[in-house]
Structures are given as structure tokens and as C-alpha cells.
Structure 1
Amino acid sequence: MPRIAVVTDSTSSLSPNDALREDITVVPLQVIIGADVFTEGHDVTADMIAEALAGFVPVSTSRPTPDDFLAVYERLAAEGAEAIVSVHLSARMSGTLDSAVLASKQCSIPVTCIDSTQVGIATGFAAGRAAQARDAGEDAVGVAEAARQAGESSTALLYVDTLEYLRRGGRVGAAAALIGSALAVKPLLTITDGLVVPLERVRTKAKALARLEALAVEQATSCENGFDIGVQHLASLPTANAVAGRLAATLDRESIAVDEVGAAIGAHVGPGMIAVTITPR
């Protein structure tokens, strides 16, 4: 059976320990704060992003180049990989997948690039499923299909204090931004067909978080064969811990992992974001 390497990008929210344990290679995005360029996972934190956004310092992100991906792919080939499955955030939100595809056409070994249609830990879950399929003996086609199915079946539910940061980054349309500003409501969002879209409008933060939890429980309990679940936040750890604690109690779990989003995602969602991701098994 060919040795298959699994690659993802830094928006997948995999910690270095998780990536090492699951033998997944992570290619970082670039984050630009003001005039300074940083590499996600190396020299920039979500706290730096939150501080910059609060201070109205321009923040943007930049995808890895095809050369960045090709260098990683060829290193894995030199280390003995005979095929690569490369799993990335939604192509409708970033050009990262395009860079991976361009690199795959120049690589000396076969590379299958997968659009997870997701972002954040949902992409991480998809990469993890690919690694599990590889370790179970699946060939490259089976590994790629495991990632594709995980991404397409995932549900990401997001609460944001304001849609302004997503609007600035072009991740939601200007009309959608009016949901938060003109009507003075707290928006709940989801990802549909690879795009962040409004889901519901709730009047207060407390009610919005309660509704977020209710929707997450509804989705999780509909998974016939179990599920993976995670909570993410930006500069809102106490709230995220409280949400995770209530979900764990309702879903009869000992605990649910809580992580701060990476800098690249944080640049677009803004401080106060809470997200719950559910991926059926």
C-alpha cells in the first residue's frame, strides 16, 4: 500500500501536538497587521489580531503560494510519500485551494486536493478523518473521500458580536451586514455551500448563545453514529468555556474541547466570536 501523506492549511485550527500525533502536515497562511507580515502558527497569535482589530489597525490575510505548497509536497515525496491528499478551507472563501491545485500539477507524485467546503476546526476534522482512513489502510481515493465526506457533512454554527469584520473581508455581502447594524440584533451564522451565510437573528447575546447551543444539540443528536464536536472563540474564553460546559452536560460528554481560532480566521470574525462545529462520524 502506498504511503499517503495528509496535508492541510493553518486555518484548520490543528494544534502542533494534534498535527504531530495524527501525522498531518500544516501549510501556514500569512497574516498582515498594518505593514507587518506574520506567519500563522509561528509568530502571530489570535490575541494580536483581536488587539489590532479593536485598535482599528488594518488586518488581512494571504494564501500560501503554489511554490509554498510545492516545496512541502516535494519534501514529503523525498521523505517517502508516494501520494498526497491535501485538505483545505472552502475555495469560495480563500484562494488557498487554488494554490494547492497549481502545485499538485507540478509535483513528482500524485496529489489529490480536497475542498472541505468549511473553515476552522471543521477543516481540521476533515483532515483528521483523512489521516484516520490512511492509518486504516485506505488508498488515496479512500483517504480523499473520507475528507470530502467529513467536510460536506459538517455543521458550523457561529455567533459574532458584529458582521462588520466579515463584511470588511468580503466574507459576507454588504446586505447581510445590515442584519447586525440596522436591526441592532446579534447574528447567528452558518456555512452553506462553502460560504458564510446568515442563519438567524436574535435580540441579545444571551439569547443568541442559548439558540446557538440549542441548534448544536439538535444537530449533534441527529448524528446516528456519533459525532466530533469542538468550540472555538476569539478573545472570549470564559464565554466559550461556559458554552462548552453546557453542551457537554446536555450531550452527556465529560468535556468538549475549546480552542481559540487561528489568526487568519480571527482577522475576519472579530473579537467575541463563538463557534460550535459538529462533524458526524
Structure 2
Amino acid sequence: MSVAVVTDSTAGLTPEEAEKAGVTVVPLQLVIAGASYDDGVDPEATPEHLAEALREFRPVSTSRPSPQVVLETYEDLAETGVEAIVSVHLSSQLSATYESAQLATRRCSIPVVPVDTRQIGAATGYAALAAARAAALGAPVEEVAEVARRQAERITSLFYVDTLEYLRRGGRVGAVGALVGSALAVKPILQVEDGRIVTLEKVRTSVRAIARLEELAMKAAHGEAVDAVDVTVCHLANPEGAERLAAGLSARLGSLLHGEDVAVQEVGAVLGAHVGPGLLGVVVAPRL
């Protein structure tokens, strides 16, 4: 059976990465001042344009792909001879994208298995890539979906933001916590836990936050009985901080990387709209 893998634009896969892996990407929408753009597709929906809009206090919001758009993606794949699809998406606790996939599944002409990774960003991307590798080896559709779930469950996603205000606006953290954090100039280290964003620790400065991110990433990498990990450092408008963090992790992880580099990735505009400029994060994915 020919199995295709679909994911969404929050997974952070570049067009080249997606094409090489055989993964189809459905874009979410970025809305700036009432105008809607496809995340990662339209030139207006780039991290640079987003950061500029946020700094200028223009209204920014996001929306899921409609069930009809997802269905059209599925049917386009079916027309190429694909016999089944595994659709791998960001946490249903943070976006209705997974719901769109579920609704589209009911109307699709071929079997589709939606997967809620309960993750965000590069973590979702790692799950989609693991699924694509299984599909390329000829695994049946349920096994491909299970590979995506297993990969997502083992990933650690950590990050910090300069301010909790953007997460508060989108309802991703509580209003009281956001206001207290801003008033005390606290730099919270956040973690994705069971599909939600939770506060893991609080530190006083960005320098301490970066150092603590590195320590927590090292702990996550050594906490699994595996021989290798993949690591991505994520950022929004913070390339210098991301490169420093990646260099430190590369030096300390050594053989666990099996000759690979720690990847550096600027998050897409849709994710960036909820975290704001200055984001710095680490995704640690033990290899299956």
C-alpha cells in the first residue's frame, strides 16, 4: 500500500526538506490587519514580516486551514495513486488544525489516519519525518501513524520568550501569570507537556535562561536509553542567540549527534505570532 504523509506549516519543514522526505505541507493562515496569508507560502507570511508587524503593533492573529482545504490536499494525493494518508499535526490543545484533519478524513475517498502529536514546531516536524521514513520502507498506514505518535511522545520541547504577552493574547497562558511575569521581568522557561504550554522554571535574565535551556536540553538528551538524538534550536528574530546555543550544544552532545549538526531554525510566522520576537527554544528528539 502506498502511504503518504501530510503535516502542517507549523512543523517548520523547509520546502526542500518536505520534498526530499515526501511530506506534503498544508499551510495555516497568518492574519495581519485583516489580510490573510498562507504561512510559509505568501511573501507576507514570513518571520521577518511578522516581527515587523508585531513591533509596529499592527493586529496579528492566526487561523487553521479549513477542513475543505485539508480535504483537497488529501484528494490531490489520492489522484496521484496514493492509497492511504497519515496526517501529522500540532497539538489539538493549541490549534484546531487537527480537528480540520479529522473532519476532512470523514469525507476523503481513501483512508486517512490523523495524528495529534501534542507537540509544536520542530517537534511536529520530527514526528512527520519519522512517519515519512516508515512509509518509504513500506510500512502499513497504522504502523506509519504509530511511528509518528511514538516519536512525538519521546520529544522534549523547551523554550523561553522575552515576554508572555503574545502567548497571553492567544490564550496559550493565563493572564495573571503573564502580567506577573512582565512586572517582575521574569524570563520563564516553558515546556510542552501533554499538548499544552506550561511553565517549567523562572529565571531573572535572558543570559541565565539560555544557560538553563542548554542544561535542560543536555538532561533530556541523556535521559533516554538511545544512541543518538536529533536537536533543533528554534528562534524568532534572535539568530545570534540561537547560533550560540547551537554551538554550545554541538560541543557538549558530541557522539550523541552521530556526526549531525544541531539544526538552527527560525520558526514560521504562525508560531511566531504567539511567542513574539526574541523566542529561543530547543527540541530534543531521540531517534527511534
TM norm structure 1 = 0.98
Quote the Cα distance in structure 1 between the aligned partners of 2:237 and 2:180.
23
Q: Following superposition of structure 1 onto structure 2, how do residues 66-145 of structure 1 map, counting pairs within 5 Å?
A: 66-145=67-146
8 Å Cα contact 1:179-1:201 kept in structure 2 = no
**Pairwise CA distance, 1:6:** 0.2
C-alpha RMSD of matched pairs (Å): 1.0
Q: Deviations over 1:114-170 (max 9, x none)?
A: 000001000000000100111122111110000011112111000100101000111
Alignment of 1:135-174 (within 5 A): 135-174=136-175
Instruction: Report Cα offsets for 1:186-244 as digits up to 9, x if no partner.
Output: 11100011011111000111011100100001101222222211011000001100100
The answer as to 2:38 corresponding to 1:39 is: yes
- The worse-fitting range, judged by mean Cα deviation, of 61-70 and 220-229 is 220-229
Q: Is residue 235 of structure 2 the alignment partner of residue 236 of structure 1? A: no
Q: Gaps spanning 5+ residues in structure 2: where?
A: none
Q: Please say which of residues 222-231 and 42-51 is displaced more in the overlay.
A: 222-231
Counterpart in the other structure of 1:271: 277
Q: Secondary structure at the match of 1:105?
A: helix
Name 1:13's counterpart in structure 2: 12
The one-character-per-residue Cα deviations of 1:48-69 (angstroms, maximum 9, x if unpaired) are 1111111111111010001001
Where does the alignment leave 5 or more consecutive residues of structure 1 unmatched?
none
In structure 1, what is the Cα distance between the partners aligned to 2:139 and 2:174?
Answer: 40
User: Residue in 1 aligned with 2:192?
Assistant: 191
- The aligned counterpart of 2:3 is 4
TM-score under structure 2 normalisation? 0.95
Question: Is contact 2:162–2:277 with CA below 8 Å preserved after alignment?
Answer: yes
Task: Please show how residues 175-254 of structure 1 align to structure 2 within 5 Å.
Answer: 175-225=176-226, 226-252=228-254, 253=257
Identity within the alignment, %:
53
| CA distance in structure 2 between the aligned counterparts of 1:123 and 1:150, rounded to whole angstroms | 9
Aligned residues between the structures: 280
Instruction: Determine if contact 2:2/2:138 at 8 Å carries over to the other structure.
Output: no
* In structure 1, C-alpha distance between the alignment counterparts of 2:266 and 2:23, rounded to whole Å: 20
Matched, 1:260 2:266: yes
Matched-pair contact (CA < 8 Å) for 2:6–2:87: yes
Q: How far apart are the structure 1 equivalents of 2:4 and 2:136?
A: 10
Q: Quick check: 2:30–2:62 contact (8 Å CA) kept in 1? A: yes
Distance 1:175 1:130 in 2: 39
Counterparts of 1:17 and 1:179, CA distance in 2: 42
Task: State how far apart, in whole Å, the 2-side matches of 1:176 and 1:10 are.
Answer: 29
2:236 and 2:270 map into 1 onto residues whose CA distance is 11
Q: For residues 21 and 179 of structure 1, what CA distance do their matches in structure 2 show? A: 45
Amino acid at match of 2:236: L
SS in 2 for 1:259: strand
Three-state SS of the structure 1 residue aligned to 2:65 is coil
Aligned partners of 2:32 and 2:135: how far apart in 1? 38
